[in-house]
Structure 1
Amino acid sequence: MSSVIPFGGAPSNEGATFRTPPHNFEAEQALLGALLLNNRAFEKVAEFLRPEHFAEPAHGRIFAACAKLVERGQIANPVTLKTYFESDGGLAEIGGTAYLAQLANSVVSIINAEDYGKLIHDLHLRRELIALGEDLVNHAFEPTIETSAMEQIGKAEAQLYELATTGQTEGGFETFNAVLIEAVRQAEAAHKRQGKLSGVPTGLVDLDTKLGGLHSSDLLILAGRPSMGKTSLATNIAFNAAKAYREEVDALGARKAVDGAVTAFFSLEMSAEQLATRILAEQAEIPSHKIRQGELANDEFERLVTAAQELHRLPLFIDDTPALSISAVRTRARRLKRQHGLNLIVIDYLQLLRGSGGSSEQNRVQEVSEITRGLKALAKELDVPVIALSQLSRAVEQREDKRPQLADLRESGSIEQDADVVMFVFREQYYLERAEPGQRPDETPEKFNERHAKWQQRCEEVWNTAEVIVAKQRHGPVGTVRLSFHGEFTKFGNLITGDHYQDPGF
């Protein structure tokens, strides 16, 4: 029954009852007893249950000790644990070492061990949710000039997201042993995958070989001058990753990607319809202008319909909101990961994002620095690779060799520093087509024909090809990867060479 609070007054405590946080000591005792009776019960809960999930601290310490012994290949029972807990004051309060034998003797079966573990985990999340709610209410009651309501909402959403994904609301140190186990798991997953990739596949063989796939928590910058194909390459990668997506379900019913990626594409330059038309054109191999103008033959329309039927099932999500702030990108990405899962983020393009706008005196270089730091933090928080497209300065056009360099990045200091990988898209064909040599006044026809023949030969060598220049990579080598590029379909693919062939679907 609720009480009326007079305006300007304090809430009445009349009729208030004290509520204890949700817990179930009986379930904790049953699980520990099953574990002490038969250590194989640990296998059923090891994937998701941690010592801190127990409401009774002594139960958490018993579980941690059992886990250490089992992982060493030793037996965990009241006899082997007695030595560890003889001096444990917390255990003495509930019966001392005799309590261990009591737990083991009171169990009839280990069949329900997994159900007990899930219940313990669920109650832990509820306690954490209560604590988070109390903090949220207290912070909302104490408004400050420095922190706006929207910033409080963003922080609360971040805490909720972390609670939903990890079951813990605050970060901290991890033991090297735990980190090492996770590294071995990733290596095992890479070993099982076709192509031996440790990251999300791009679908482009040579690029995957150079990068080892797109690695979780990495910020990858894909840069180039206009008309080089940045957006086309990004959409190709997003499509290939979504097409390769496969998942499995863990012990708690959560979905986990084993290949490919659920992909979020933030298109700040093109509308969602334009981007969808471009992807349709790439996959149906129909020039996009023919789709827009309706100039399709019957067989082309059939290919278009077939491609659309295949595409609509892909886990590819597009957000075409213009001028998004970095905080809005973070909020929408968290929401998508909660609702559908998320394994890859693509942003087209970095210079169209906005910073927090906290200071009117902030110049563009500082704003871009904030954006790149925010994107790197987002990649680490969500544990996904983030590909951000970037423009290049006009300095490229002034050089004879038009291949981009790291110094050509706009506001290059922060972008180059924060990025784990920096790649440039370069198509020599684009420049050659605009540089057909003309005959000089003092040049003989023979000399002109010789120069023109060399130009024509070079055009044939680079026809329908592109280069991805990996200029920086924290985890691997740098170098140049050659790809095929069909301009009329804006489609990148694997280049046919002596050791591998283009994919049949190209």
Structure 2
Amino acid sequence: MEALKRDAANDSEDKLGYRQQPHNLEAEQALLGSILVNNEAAQKVQGFLLPEHFFEPVHGRIYEAVLKLMDKNQVADPVKLKPYFENDEALSDVGGAQYLVRLAASAATIINTEDYGRTIYDLALRRSLILIGERMVNDAYDAPVDLEAAEQIADAEKQLFDLAELGQAETGAQPFSRALRTAVENIENAYKDPDSLSGITTGLSLLNEKIGGLHDSDLMILAGRPAMGKTALATNIAFNAAKRFADDRLVGVDPAKSKGAVVCFFSLEMSADQLAARILSDRANALYNGPEPIQSHKMRQGHLREDQFEAIARAAIELEETPLFIDDTPALTIAALRNRARRLKRQHNLGLVVVDYLQLLRGTGKGNAAESRVQEISEITRGLKGLAKELHIPVLALSQLSRGVEQRENKRPMLSDLRESGSIEQDADMVMFVFREEYYKEKEEPSQADQEKHLQWQAEMSALYGKAELIIGKQRHGPVGTIHLAFDKECTRFSDLIEEDHLPERFE
């Protein structure tokens, strides 16, 4: 009889076109009861289950109150929670604060706690999917005239990504206590880390010390004039981060605790094989002990000795396991870049994005080109900063500098030299400049007829040879200043500079 009544009720609901959103109040009650009986049960679910995942709002508030008491190292049971819910109107219909006692009485066993939590989480995702689907349909029917379908697709993909990654269709405002907990966890991880890094390693010790690694949600700009080595430095950083991740994985380090990252290099200037050849040349030289370095242009021309080719083959085998992706699509739009980065985050847990370079990206293409170039760059920098925050990863973008640098006697770049838009400086969390005085001094070679001047020039060139400066012009999280690096032009490799007074003693 009861089954017939339920079937009749379901039929009437179907005829009315009304369907309840997916939920399971019994599972919510059993989970909360289990936590109230034994607070340790909360530890099995608090890593993925948030208060907003509960269908019944009062259940979410009870769960949140339990977590707050646990954070203070206090026991959360019906007696301790009663004062917080005595005047809660939502509980009045079910017996007021005595409802907490009934929840404890309906407790699931601690063994089943995670299963109940996963059920509640899964149903919350389904409700969010319904909400996203409804919005997509309504927006498609009532789209404004100036809204392109591609923009709606990008927005829908972002909402689906947020749901897949964060378990929420919209993040919205979050309690300060949750943000504080995350901040303390980051500080604790940096404190316990042997490298004293709070972010992803750059592979350069001096740079790591200065900035603490590449931080999640940060947009970093690496700028410089042509031939300064921007692409080389960005490639070195990308490879070092990817190799550290591969090495950590090999020794069993939890990927979440690795100081490396899965990297995607968006190369809008160089092709994927040219970039790969640079990385291969760098790594092959690290494995090669021959009399002269393996130069990337000689690799392309095939001018190699047998021992050099063997070093390249060994390096290629080693690099196969490096989680470094290269996307060399030309004239990529900022929207397309974000979509591809989201996909890699979802599929491969992307941890670092490198863009070479900023001015080659395209915006939405609206407005007159002459008037909107500055606006387009502003849109691109905002989009890259938004990508860093959305995926919770660092984004390193290369940028050109204006020609005004060449007109000055002191050619060290400044923030005002950033090309085409002040929004680059405004949106970036960090701005770094690559500067090699050797490049400019080389062009000042005097005539050999003036022997004194030529000898002085040679001495100055000798002092500058193989040296580069990385100038940190802006850093939200730390100090600015200059880092001195070594640069090997033949191998396009930056490394830590060892000053002459730090070299080991030589015995002859």
1:31-50 per-position Cα deviation (integer Å, ceiling 9, x unaligned): 11111111111111122211
Structure 2 partner of 1:9: none
> Aligned pair count?
479
Deviates more, 1:461-470 or 1:96-105: 96-105
Shift of 1:471: 1.4
Name the SS for the 2:258 alignment partner: strand
Structure 1 partner of 2:498: 496
2-structure distance, mates of 1:383, 1:241: 16
The answer on whether the counterparts of 2:245 and 2:255 sit within 8 Å (CA) in structure 1 is no
Name the SS for the 1:120 alignment partner: helix
- 1:246–1:83 distance in 2 versus 1, CA, 3 Å: farther
Structure 2 partner of 1:231: 231
Shift of 1:498: 7.2
TM-score, with length taken from structure 1: 0.90
Equivalences for residues 33-72 of structure 1 within 5 A = 33-72=33-72
RMSD: 2.3
Structure 2 partner of 1:432: 441
1:271-305 per-position Cα deviation (integer Å, ceiling 9, x unaligned): 11111111101111221112111222221111111
The answer on whether the counterparts of 2:53 and 2:121 sit within 8 Å (CA) in structure 1 is yes
Structure 2 partner of 1:313: 321
Larger fraction in helix: 2
The answer on whether the counterparts of 1:470 and 1:479 sit within 8 Å (CA) in structure 2 is yes
Name the SS for the 1:343 alignment partner: strand
1-structure distance, mates of 2:500, 2:77: 61
1-structure distance, mates of 2:127, 2:502: 55
Structure 2 partner of 1:458: 460
Structure 1 partner of 2:84: 84
2-structure distance, mates of 1:105, 1:125: 28
The answer on whether the counterparts of 2:222 and 2:432 sit within 8 Å (CA) in structure 1 is yes
Structure 2 partner of 1:201: 201
Shift of 1:314: 1.3
Shift of 1:212: 1.4
Shift of 1:127: 0.8
1:211-246 per-position Cα deviation (integer Å, ceiling 9, x unaligned): 111112211111111111110000000000111127
Structure 2 partner of 1:342: 350
2-structure distance, mates of 1:184, 1:497: 37
1:420 to 414, 429, 444: 429
Structure 2 partner of 1:402: 411
- 1:82–1:327 distance in 2 versus 1, CA, 3 Å: same
Question: Partner amino acid for 1:142?
Answer: D
1-structure distance, mates of 2:57, 2:246: 39
1:152-199 per-position Cα deviation (integer Å, ceiling 9, x unaligned): 101101111111111112232222222211111111121232321111
Shift of 1:258: 3.0
- 1:228–1:108 distance in 2 versus 1, CA, 3 Å: closer
1:404-444 per-position Cα deviation (integer Å, ceiling 9, x unaligned): 2222221142222222211111112222222212267xxxx
Structure 1 partner of 2:486: 484
The answer on whether the counterparts of 1:157 and 1:331 sit within 8 Å (CA) in structure 2 is yes
Structure 1 partner of 2:341: 333
Name the SS for the 1:359 alignment partner: coil
Is 1:258 aligned to 2:266, yes or no?
A: no
2-structure distance, mates of 1:248, 1:140: 46
Is 1:240 aligned to 2:240, yes or no?
A: yes
1-structure distance, mates of 2:49, 2:501: 47
Structure 2 partner of 1:376: 385
| Percentage of matched positions with identical amino acids | 59
2-structure distance, mates of 1:236, 1:248: 18
Deviates more, 1:152-161 or 1:58-67: 58-67
The answer on whether the counterparts of 1:323 and 1:352 sit within 8 Å (CA) in structure 2 is yes
Shift of 1:349: 0.6
The answer on whether the counterparts of 1:245 and 1:257 sit within 8 Å (CA) in structure 2 is no
2-structure distance, mates of 1:48, 1:246: 27
Structure 1 partner of 2:367: 359
Name the SS for the 2:198 alignment partner: coil
Name the SS for the 2:350 alignment partner: coil
The answer on whether the counterparts of 1:193 and 1:259 sit within 8 Å (CA) in structure 2 is no
TM-score, with length taken from structure 2: 0.89
Question: Partner amino acid for 2:63?
Answer: F
Deviates more, 1:407-416 or 1:381-390: 407-416
Is 1:137 aligned to 2:145, yes or no?
A: no
Shift of 1:459: 1.3
2-structure distance, mates of 1:247, 1:378: 27
2-structure distance, mates of 1:197, 1:104: 44
1-structure distance, mates of 2:356, 2:393: 17
2-structure distance, mates of 1:170, 1:500: 53
2-structure distance, mates of 1:203, 1:247: 13
Shift of 1:148: 1.3
2-structure distance, mates of 1:499, 1:69: 57
1-structure distance, mates of 2:33, 2:374: 60
2-structure distance, mates of 1:360, 1:398: 30
1:291 to 290, 295, 299: 299
Question: Partner amino acid for 1:304?
Answer: I
Structure 2 partner of 1:101: 101
- 1:363–1:17 distance in 2 versus 1, CA, 3 Å: closer
Shift of 1:21: 1.7
Structure 1 partner of 2:6: none
